Amino acid sequence: MWLKPEEVLLKNALKLWVQERSNQYFVLQRRRGYGEEGGGGLAGLLVGTLDAVLDSTSKVAPFRILHQTPDSQVYWSIACGSSREEITEHWDWLEQNVMKTLSVFDSNEDITSFVQGKIRGLIAEEGKGSFVKEEDPEKFREGLMKFERCFGLPEQEKLVTYYSCSYWKGRVPCQGWLYLSTNFLSFYSFLLGAEVKLIISWDEISKLEKTSNVILTENIHVCSRGEDHYFSMFLHISETFLLMEQLANYAVRRLFDKETFENDLVLHDPLQITKRGLESHAHSEQFSAFFRLPKEETLKEVHECFLWVPFSHYSTHGKMCISENYICFASQDGSLCSVIIPLREVTGVDKADPANRGVSISTKGKTAFRFTEVRDFEQLVGKLRMKCNAASSPQHIVNTEVALGSASESPKDFDVGPSKMGQKDNSKTVSTEALMTVYHPQDAENLDSKMLKEKMKEQSWNILFVERGHGVSMFRTKKTRDLVVRGIPEALRGELWLLFSGAVNDMASNPGYYTELVEKSLGTCTLATDEIERDLRRSLPEHPAFQSDTGISALRRVLTAYAYRNPQIGYCQAMNILTSVLLLYAKEEEAFWLLVAVCERMLPDYFNRRIIGALVDQAVFEELIRVHLPQLTDHMTDMTFFSSVSLSWFLTLFISVLPIESAVNVVDCFFYDGIKAILQLGLAVLEYNMEKLLTCKDDAEAVTVLNRFFDSVTNKDSPLPPAVQQGSNLSDTKSDHPKVDITDLIRESNERYGDIRYEDVQSLRCRNRLYVIQALEATTKQNVLRVVSQDVKFSPRDLEELYELFKREHFLSCYWNVNSPVLQHHDASLPYLDQYRIDCQQFRVLCHLLSPWSHCANRDSLALWTFRLMDESSDGLINFKQFACILDIMYNRSFTDKLKLLFKLHIPPAFTEVESLSPSKGGDLSKEELIHFSQLSVSSIEDTLESDSLKSSPEKGKGKVDIQAYLKQWQDELLKKEENIKDLPRMNQSEFIQFSKTLYNLFHGDPEEELLYRAIAVVTSLLLKMEEAVRRLQSPTSPVKSPVAVMEVPAEIPREGQDEGSSEQTEGRRAQSLRGNHEWSFAFEQILASLLNEPAFVRFFEKPHDIKAKIESAKNLQLKARTRM
């Protein structure tokens, strides 16, 4: 065990200890007399006696490790052990993880300080395991308090766990603590007066991987915003890495990939995330994906045991995994044996062979599964019996074997006939036969050589069914995979696809669901249905089944029903090609559930708007190419070629590039092995064409090589008629490319790349998901900056920094609020500019951090009015372009533009009275007040005109978009002239009073403050006198209240005749009185002309402001500002 470092003087200790190992920094010693023949002489006997007479609490361990530094007499005890194996394990860890690191320090004091800090961290790490299980662990509370004290994050931030580790700052490591919370990765170290503090939000991480180099044997590499961070010397680095990976992917899914995240109820609330919960969720995901079970299944128990394999007459070792509705087994001895037993199929659970702790499970298929060496087998039998009783309730009784509609080895057991699921006279709407049986019925009398081979394949499968069972609970072994590689027989293909994909379980759990879905979805008119109609005739157009209304109607029903079921995916191109192949071999309802299995489980995120899943698997494919085909990687200057050429391989499972008779063999392997089969085949295709690809001079030539190869792929054993086979149409043409049989190609891909494990693919997917999503985000940023840069004068670097601050503020509001309106409005399918928008509260935070006018006493009101001015659509959100343009006026525009902005902020629709709500707070507004005022509408003549234009906007209707109206509106915007100052409305007296107050507030603290105050007094007085003179000239007989007298009334006191009603009513009366000529007002030209005569004004507004300093300050204060709010 590791010990708290304590000083040891070796001068006297050498009599009691014998040195066994040593190096420059550490010494391993054995207690004299321990493990020596004869007791080690007199000294050994003396020491042994001394140790023997001491009580157990004072006994000295026989082995220990000391830390030493050259030229020092003081040693430090850091570890002890009761056995040689224990102490050797500690010694090896020090040599592998610490020794190489110590060489980078310059002084012995630094080395000793580092070692002491490392050992203390390890002790705390080991002790943590004992208190994690406690309900209210004291140690974790201490860690939480330190986390809150060091980083000052909002108290809603949930600490998940923390680890002792070293952070590499340059070439020198800093020993400290790594804190993992729901939204941040944080590190803190304080050694020898040097403080290191690091906070990285998970959504900024583009790379997270375990690496090793010369100095560090194993470390965790984190890349964020182009900066690399390395953490090492973890006690359990694999556990730490997995947890970091889960948290990073959780944050990315929550913030960037809302479509898939919203269906994940387990992780929906960030405040409920715990280390144990994350681990449990990860295990459940892995379990359901491996056994192709519904995503809702949660792994409850895992038992190591043996399963008796009757056809091989031996017991295979593996793990029994139990969820709510399934008992699954997977071998771990290389036999590739697995079993899935739905509880709906179980008829009995009994204790068998108590001496060997056996459990016997009987199923409806007359099969008994015997598990032995099960720990706590008696309790397990009781639990399973309770589960089976719950699963046997009437709503769950559905015979899966019958649902498959297939012949079994014992027909008398399944004499129920066709499936009774959802019988609602659906023969008129839902097809009950696979299209292949309708259009290509097999002729049993005239058997040619291909049909004979097909019958031999069927016989092989029937023998397998007799040996290993038939249906969902069959034994799946290496023999099963070998038969799949050879190609599934046409007659069994639909049934086995349903079985291997797990779609059979979905269909059995949802009887009648598809029929109801078809009835609800047919006749609906959406964007998805329009796209489906457009693509129906493009789906396998050469096949007779899709040249008639039968096939087209079935395809329409399946695709429309799925779009209705899952509107977040709706319809995506490539789904039509895949579904048409499914309909050839499966009944219509079966094809629907196969499509569900592919889109929602087997190819996650493939068919959403950004095809993230396909891009992730392409990145995985590139990594595998680097590992297995390095010569091809060296030849290709740009790896993106493989991504562009292979996208259709992944989206359509090679159906779009291979002849149909060959492509179905690939689909066979996909349903059995998942994406692993597609990756293996892709590698085999590239290797087969390696020589030709290495001679290609450009991408176009390489694409031609691959296309010619795919055209040459045949399936010599296919029983399909020549008219249907796409490959046969090319057989007569002269081709210099030799024919390649698909079975040989698939077999070769299994032999060469079969060692790629499912777990490795999942790990690569996790790692590359971060990279892919950050790459998509980078594309969004580039497009936004390209558009916005045309309208502002900020440098590209400053504009990019502003975008990062804007986007970060968007996410900060989502971190601790599950129902954040900003997160709800985030949609990756929107135009680039509208993907990230902020509300009034977020804008206020950014305005305080970045605005050159943020020192103003009424800065909250200014922020509110500015937001209202930008929020032209009145939806309470603004985009980055609007935000950047406002800042551009404040920093880069002329005196006239800045004054015009201030003028517009003090007239409708921007201006609204805000001060009367909370006078005790002065100019500060609460969040609720801010949101309330930002949503108020101001009634004016201009608003009426604006509302009319909004009603005619092509985007506001709930029906289809009027393209012509949209194009006309777009043209009008392009031709729109720059705003003329003469078009600005006049400013009435109360607005002018507030305008003057804002100017006073702006000038506060300026070096020329007194001069500016005098100037504004002169200008105000001049304007008022001019207005009074004009009014007298216009109506010499009417009584007019002097504007000067009005100005003398304190702004905080309501004027005579003005009650304290709502701001909206106030604005309405103000507009009415203005129209009735009862008030005086100013035009913008008057104010501009008057202020231009005052040099102090001009100097103030034309004074340059440093946006770079503001940005740097904002980056440091943004998180703190959120904490204060």
Task: Give me 828's structure tokens.
Answer: 């990756």
Residue 378 near residue 351, CB atoms below 8 Å: yes
Task: Please state whether beta strands 26-31 and 17-22 pair in parallel, antiparallel, or not at all (unpaired).
Answer: antiparallel
Cα atoms found within 13 Å of the Cα of residue 243, Cβ hemisphere only: 24
pLDDT of amino acid 303: 93
pLDDT of amino acid 547: 85
% of the chain at pLDDT higher than 90: 34
Residue of 684, 647, 693, 644 whose CA lies nearest to 666: 684
Tens-digit pLDDT profile for residues 719-749: 877 766 666 444 444 456 788 999 999 999 9
pLDDT of amino acid 749: 94
pLDDT of amino acid 334: 67
pLDDT of amino acid 705: 92
* 1064 or 113: which leads in pLDDT: 113
Question: Residue 167 — φ and ψ, nearest 5°?
Answer: -110, 130
pLDDT of amino acid 938: 46
pLDDT of amino acid 1060: 37
pLDDT of amino acid 476: 93
Highest mean pLDDT among 94-103, 264-273, 1037-1046, 1103-1112 belongs to 1103-1112
- Say how far apart CA 398 and CA 46 lie, in whole Å: 78
pLDDT at 836 over 80: yes
Task: Give the pLDDT band of residue 414 (cuts 50, 70, 90).
Answer: very low
Residues 6 or more apart whose Cβ sits within 8 Å of residue 531 = 571, 573
Residues 6 or more apart whose Cβ sits within 8 Å of residue 489 = 454, 457, 458, 461
Question: Residue 656 — φ and ψ, nearest 5°?
Answer: -75, -15
Beta strands in 48-204 (DSSP E): 63-67, 74-81, 159-169, 172-181, 184-191, 194-201
Cα torsion at 383, 384, 390, 391 (round to 10°)?
160
Q: Token pair 């139990």 is at which residue?
A: 322
Residues 6 or more apart whose Cβ sits within 8 Å of residue 876 = 821, 839, 840, 931, 934, 935
Residues 6 or more apart whose Cβ sits within 8 Å of residue 818 = 268, 269, 270, 271
Mean pLDDT, range 608-623, rounded to an integer: 89
Least confident among 25-29, 39-43, 604-608, 721-725: 39-43
% of the chain at pLDDT higher than 70: 76
Residue of 773, 808, 751, 739 whose CA lies nearest to 1114: 808
Question: Residue 178 — φ and ψ, nearest 5°?
Answer: -100, 120
* 581 or 569: which leads in pLDDT: 581
Which strands make up the sheet holding 172-181, listed edge to edge? Answer: 194-201, 184-191, 172-181, 159-169, 227-232, 219-224, 205-211
pLDDT at 859 over 60: yes
pLDDT of amino acid 148: 84
Task: Give the pLDDT band of residue 11 (cuts 50, 70, 90).
Answer: low
pLDDT of amino acid 974: 57
CA distances from 1026 to 1022, 1032, 1091 (A): 6, 10, 14
- Say how far apart CA 932 and CA 415 lie, in whole Å: 68
Instruction: Say how many C-beta atoms besides its own lie within 10 A of residue 104's C-beta.
Output: 15
pLDDT at 1121 over 80: no
Would the CA dihedral through 606, 611, 616, 618 be positive or negative?
A: positive
Tens-digit pLDDT profile for residues 1087-1114: 999 999 889 989 999 999 999 999 999 9
Tens-digit pLDDT profile for residues 965-1006: 656 666 665 555 555 777 788 898 888 989 999 998 998 888
Backbone φ/ψ region at 522: left (φ over 0), alpha (ψ -120 to 50), beta:
beta
pLDDT at 621 over 90: yes
Task: Give the pLDDT band of residue 1053 (cuts 50, 70, 90).
Answer: very low
- Say how far apart CA 198 and CA 225 lie, in whole Å: 14
The number of residues in the chain equals 1125
- Say how far apart CA 843 and CA 848 lie, in whole Å: 9
- Say how far apart CA 846 and CA 945 lie, in whole Å: 32
Highest mean pLDDT among 73-77, 312-316, 338-342, 375-379 belongs to 338-342
Task: Give the pLDDT band of residue 946 (cuts 50, 70, 90).
Answer: very low
Helix (H) or strand (E) holding 1040: none
Least confident among 534-538, 674-678, 748-752, 889-893: 534-538
What's the one-letter identity of residue 938?
A: V
Task: Give the pLDDT band of residue 118 (cuts 50, 70, 90).
Answer: confident
- Say how far apart CA 735 and CA 712 lie, in whole Å: 8
Tens-digit pLDDT profile for residues 30-62: 887 776 654 455 455 444 444 433 333 334 678
Question: Residue 219 — φ and ψ, nearest 5°?
Answer: -150, 165
Write 963-971 long-range contacts (CB < 8 A, 24+): none
Least confident among 452-456, 610-614, 678-682, 930-934: 930-934
Mean pLDDT, range 25-32, rounded to an integer: 86
Mean pLDDT, range 506-512, rounded to an integer: 91
pLDDT of amino acid 109: 84
pLDDT of amino acid 668: 96
Instruction: Say how many C-beta atoms besides its own lie within 10 A of residue 13's C-beta.
Output: 14
Q: Peptide bond before 544: cis, by omega within 30 degrees of 0? A: no
Backbone φ/ψ region at 61: left (φ over 0), alpha (ψ -120 to 50), beta:
beta
- Say how far apart CA 1097 and CA 1091 lie, in whole Å: 6
pLDDT at 888 over 80: yes
Least confident among 66-75, 492-501, 616-625, 862-871: 66-75
Residues 6 or more apart whose Cβ sits within 8 Å of residue 430 = 514, 515, 518, 557, 588, 589
Tens-digit pLDDT profile for residues 443-489: 656 667 888 888 999 999 999 999 999 889 999 999 999 999 999 99
CA angle (520, 526, 528) in 5-degree steps:
95
pLDDT of amino acid 19: 86
* 792 or 1061: which leads in pLDDT: 792
Task: Give me 540's structure tokens.
Answer: 């396998």
What's the one-letter identity of residue 276?
A: R
Task: Give the pLDDT band of residue 552 (cuts 50, 70, 90).
Answer: very high
Task: Give the pLDDT band of residue 295 (cuts 50, 70, 90).
Answer: confident
pLDDT of amino acid 113: 84
Least confident among 103-112, 596-605, 841-850: 103-112
* 939 or 1099: which leads in pLDDT: 1099
Mean pLDDT, range 71-81, rounded to an integer: 84
Question: Residue 105 — φ and ψ, nearest 5°?
Answer: -80, 150
pLDDT of amino acid 439: 75
Mean pLDDT, range 881-906, rounded to an integer: 94
Instruction: Say how many C-beta atoms besides its own lie within 10 A of residue 498's C-beta.
Output: 30
pLDDT of amino acid 190: 80
* 785 or 170: which leads in pLDDT: 785
pLDDT at 85 over 60: yes
Exposed / middle / buried, residue 695 (Cβ in 10 Å: 0-12, 13-18, 19+)? exposed
pLDDT of amino acid 288: 92
pLDDT of amino acid 822: 59
pLDDT at 612 over 80: yes
pLDDT of amino acid 1082: 87
Tens-digit pLDDT profile for residues 240-285: 999 999 899 888 887 776 555 455 555 566 667 788 888 888 889 8
pLDDT at 152 over 50: yes
Mean pLDDT, range 828-833, rounded to an integer: 76
- Say how far apart CA 615 and CA 607 lie, in whole Å: 11
Helix (H) or strand (E) holding 983: none
Question: Residue 892 — φ and ψ, nearest 5°?
Answer: -120, -10
Q: What is the pTM of this model?
A: 0.77
Mean pLDDT, range 1041-1062, rounded to an integer: 41
Least confident among 765-779, 838-852, 1024-1038: 1024-1038
Mean pLDDT, range 542-562, rounded to an integer: 90
Highest mean pLDDT among 116-120, 205-209, 942-946 belongs to 205-209
pLDDT at 695 over 80: yes
State the chain's mean pLDDT as an integer: 80
pLDDT at 753 over 70: yes
3-state secondary structure of 768: helix
Least confident among 359-373, 858-872, 945-959, 1067-1081: 945-959
Task: Give the pLDDT band of residue 336 (cuts 50, 70, 90).
Answer: confident
Beta strands in 936-1080 (DSSP E): 987-988
pLDDT at 573 over 90: no
pLDDT of amino acid 37: 53
